[in-house]
Structure 1
Amino acid sequence: MSFRTPTRAAALVAAAALVLTACGDDDDTQSGGGDGGSASSSGSFPVTIETAFGDVTIDEEPTRVVALGWSDAETALALGVEPVGATDWLGVGGDDGLGDWVEVTYAEDPELVDTLEPSAEAIAALEPDLILDTRSDGTQERYDLLSRIAPTIGQPEGVGPYQTTWQQQLELVGRALGRAEEAGQLQADLEQRIADAEAGHPEFAGVEVAVAAYTSEGFGAYVRGDGRVDFMEALGFVNAPAVQAEAGSNFFIPVSDEQVSLLDSGLTVVFPISVEVGDITGNPLWGTLASVRENRAIVLEDPNLANAFSAASVAGITYALDSAVPLFATALAAG
């Protein structure tokens, strides 16, 4: 594996709304290159994994992994395994589908397949012995399509579309790859970093936060079960009750022009999806929020940060801890 120099990522695409650091050790986790495997495995096979679609048994260590779910590829990379096929959920472009918040990259780029409606023919041509699809729309139809090609690891039982947490994703992928021990260590390390950030910012405790996106269709807000909200609450914030009260089965609620006051909170965080930052800051409705007038609102202008914040992965959360948490603290101090 190699390490990339961060640059600005391309703007988020509408697929990020949908309804709307991974830090692999270069010395210790050398990948197997083009075969998608890894040099060593801490797990034993066969292994049986419980999913929303029933138990899935993997007889031996996978060597050709196709990672289709949101952040599945970067999670595998964090564990030292290079998928031979992957998707580009956030439309970052390039040959590997990875955002610039991911430090670890491929020795050999994967074959990129369509994100929302992956081609069964394209996947089968890669001859996978494991398909990762832990965070997607999670339909039975999608699972049936993929599982006919290779053993497929979908979301956990009881988890809604796109609502697999980073911890659940890490556990599922780690077990499937025979890297459970490494996954556990990554989880413990990141949870400690989050706890340290929370302890270092006692001013976050109990502050209500509204997390929103702005698209060509207007504003929308996120509720519990979405990785962005879960990240904020792990830092001590509380998702805005007015927003949470509108929650249904999805992780994202549309906010009409008449409802924009829902976004007025102790802290308001918003980012653009397939629109310009000026479409937010120049919107007269934005200026009606007290949080905006009192400088307690943040627009995530850097696409790389907005992407990392949305990725809800080890790498994305690590980047957000370093880059977004100081913005939150500054906004609260200013307000």
Structure 2
Amino acid sequence: MTVRPVLRGAALLAAAVLVTSCGSGDTDTSEAATAPTGSSGDFPVTVETAFGPVTVEEEPDRVVALGWSDAETALALGVQPVGASDWLGFGGYGVGPWAEGRYDEAPEIIETLEPSLEQIAALEPDLILDTRSDGTQERYDALSAIAPTIGPPEGVGPYQTTWQQQLDLVGQALGRADQAEELAADVEQQFAEARAEHPKFEGTEVAVGAYTSEGFGAYVRGDSRVDFMESLGFVNKPAIQELAGENFFIPVSEEQIALLDAPLTVIFPIFVDAAEITSNPLWQQLSSVQQGNALVLEDEELVNAFSSGSVLGIQYALENAVPLFAEALQP
């Protein structure tokens, strides 16, 4: 099964190859937006992070959101960052269409992997969100010298902060912990409803992959796409999971192509045309392809949502991707 319309490489970034393929521009900026009032939180608040406790003395008024999906998470809680990084190359406001209309004014767009400290400082932030990034001490030290910085939680690898952890951290820092908890419960309920509606998902092995100019690859736990599938009841194929290392994307050689064979195979292209997947003899030889249990995702918005790991993107994917998974599992 192939789901069309549009393909843009910037929308299909694999977190495992962020360092080589991900980025956002420093252009298309405008006057910054400010956070709305009305937070019910009490300040100061102290947030536990991988770099120790961080205290936010007062309700933030000028938030800069640098980590993957940090801006969308703040927006989901009703706070508009004055600066943000556009990890998936959306352009414009730097967020997915599922967050459309949540900004009154566009934020200043800041580079992802190597953000300009001068640009950030010029925004005069009173809080920096960097909950899902490479999580290095060097990056944290540089940012925290500008303003209190909320880094990743303890015990996670680069870019491996889950949407639940991100929502919790951002909610605490913004004084909106109760709102964050309610939103998390809503999303968990949506997952539960999807599992109940599609009992075939439970325990079914899935292979989640991507295809680039370098060939095929597969994702393992810790990647938002696999975590999304397992939250639906699927189980990441054990043969793939056994190859997991520090990264959560593993290359799949021609000799290993059978790794992508599963009761459900989901794959999408990165910086290549989807036809390079569907016309590839290696792909065509997979039993899941021959039996109609393979899904090639091409729709730009859907793949972005599936890849975003943001609470808003996840809700979009639950609504739009789940029916496709169910269809691919039909006998």
TM beyond 0.5: yes
Deviation of 1:92 (Å)? 1.7
Residues 242-280 of structure 1 show CA distances to partners (whole Å, capped at 9, x for unaligned) of 100000122111112221111101100001111111111
The answer (yes or no) to whether the contact 1:209–1:265 under 8 Å persists in 2 is yes
Residues 185-232 of structure 1 show CA distances to partners (whole Å, capped at 9, x for unaligned) of 101111101100011110111110001111111111111111111111
Aligned length: 315
Alpha-carbon distance between aligned partners in 1 of 2:123 and 2:43, rounded to the nearest angstrom: 23
Matched, 1:329 2:326: yes
Select between 103-112 and 159-168 the one with higher mean Cα deviation.
Answer: 103-112
Q: Give 3-state SS (helix, strand or coil) of 1:56's partner.
A: strand
Q: Which runs of 5+ in 1 are unaligned?
A: 1-6, 21-32
Q: Give 3-state SS (helix, strand or coil) of 2:225's partner.
A: helix
Q: Give 3-state SS (helix, strand or coil) of 2:226's partner.
A: helix
Partner in structure 1 of residue 272 of structure 2: 275
Match of 2:44 among 46, 62, 65: 46
Match of 1:305 among 272, 288, 302: 302
Partner in structure 2 of residue 87 of structure 1: 85
Alpha-carbon distance between aligned partners in 2 of 1:15 and 1:149, rounded to the nearest angstrom: 29
Alpha-carbon distance between aligned partners in 2 of 1:261 and 1:244, rounded to the nearest angstrom: 14
Q: Give 3-state SS (helix, strand or coil) of 1:329's partner.
A: helix
Matched, 1:198 2:195: yes
Partner in structure 2 of residue 60 of structure 1: 58
Match of 1:174 among 166, 171, 175: 171
The answer (yes or no) to whether the contact 1:35–1:63 under 8 Å persists in 2 is no
Partner in structure 1 of residue 135 of structure 2: 138
Alpha-carbon distance between aligned partners in 2 of 1:90 and 1:60, rounded to the nearest angstrom: 31
Amino acid aligned to 2:274: V
The answer (yes or no) to whether the contact 1:77–1:104 under 8 Å persists in 2 is no
Alpha-carbon distance between aligned partners in 2 of 1:331 and 1:188, rounded to the nearest angstrom: 28
Matched, 1:106 2:96: no
Partner in structure 1 of residue 115 of structure 2: 118
Alpha-carbon distance between aligned partners in 2 of 1:276 and 1:225, rounded to the nearest angstrom: 27
Amino acid aligned to 1:51: T
Amino acid aligned to 2:74: A
Alpha-carbon distance between aligned partners in 2 of 1:322 and 1:15, rounded to the nearest angstrom: 21
The answer (yes or no) to whether the contact 2:12–2:269 under 8 Å persists in 1 is no
The answer (yes or no) to whether the contact 2:129–2:149 under 8 Å persists in 1 is yes
The answer (yes or no) to whether the contact 1:66–1:86 under 8 Å persists in 2 is yes
Structure 2 counterparts to residues 258-273 of structure 1, below 5 A: 258-273=255-270
Partner in structure 2 of residue 23 of structure 1: none
Residues 110-166 of structure 1 show CA distances to partners (whole Å, capped at 9, x for unaligned) of 000111111111111111110000101111111111111111101100011111111
Match of 1:238 among 221, 235, 240: 235
Partner in structure 1 of residue 28 of structure 2: none
Amino acid aligned to 1:61: E
Partner in structure 1 of residue 154 of structure 2: 157
Q: Which runs of 5+ in 2 are unaligned?
A: 19-30
Closer/same/farther in 2, CA of residues 9 and 290 from structure 1, 3 Å limit = closer
Matched, 1:257 2:247: no
Q: Give 3-state SS (helix, strand or coil) of 2:55's partner.
A: strand
> Relative contact order, CA 8 A, sep 6+: which one is greater?
2
Amino acid aligned to 1:83: P
Alpha-carbon distance between aligned partners in 2 of 1:301 and 1:97, rounded to the nearest angstrom: 20
Alpha-carbon distance between aligned partners in 1 of 2:126 and 2:7, rounded to the nearest angstrom: 31
Give 4+ residue runs of structure 1 displaced > 3 Å after superposition.
Answer: 7-18
Deviation of 1:9 (Å)? 8.1
Partner in structure 1 of residue 284 of structure 2: 287
Alpha-carbon distance between aligned partners in 2 of 1:17 and 1:270, rounded to the nearest angstrom: 15
Partner in structure 2 of residue 70 of structure 1: 68
TM-score normalised by structure 1 residue count: 0.90
The answer (yes or no) to whether the contact 1:201–1:329 under 8 Å persists in 2 is yes
Between the aligned residues of both structures, percent identity stands at 68
Closer/same/farther in 2, CA of residues 321 and 14 from structure 1, 3 Å limit = closer
Partner in structure 2 of residue 148 of structure 1: 145
Q: Give 3-state SS (helix, strand or coil) of 2:156's partner.
A: coil
Alpha-carbon distance between aligned partners in 2 of 1:287 and 1:70, rounded to the nearest angstrom: 34
The answer (yes or no) to whether the contact 2:63–2:125 under 8 Å persists in 1 is yes
TM-score normalised by structure 2 residue count: 0.92
Alpha-carbon distance between aligned partners in 1 of 2:6 and 2:123, rounded to the nearest angstrom: 31
The answer (yes or no) to whether the contact 1:65–1:85 under 8 Å persists in 2 is yes
Deviation of 1:34 (Å)? 4.4
Q: Give 3-state SS (helix, strand or coil) of 1:333's partner.
A: coil
Q: Give 3-state SS (helix, strand or coil) of 1:214's partner.
A: strand
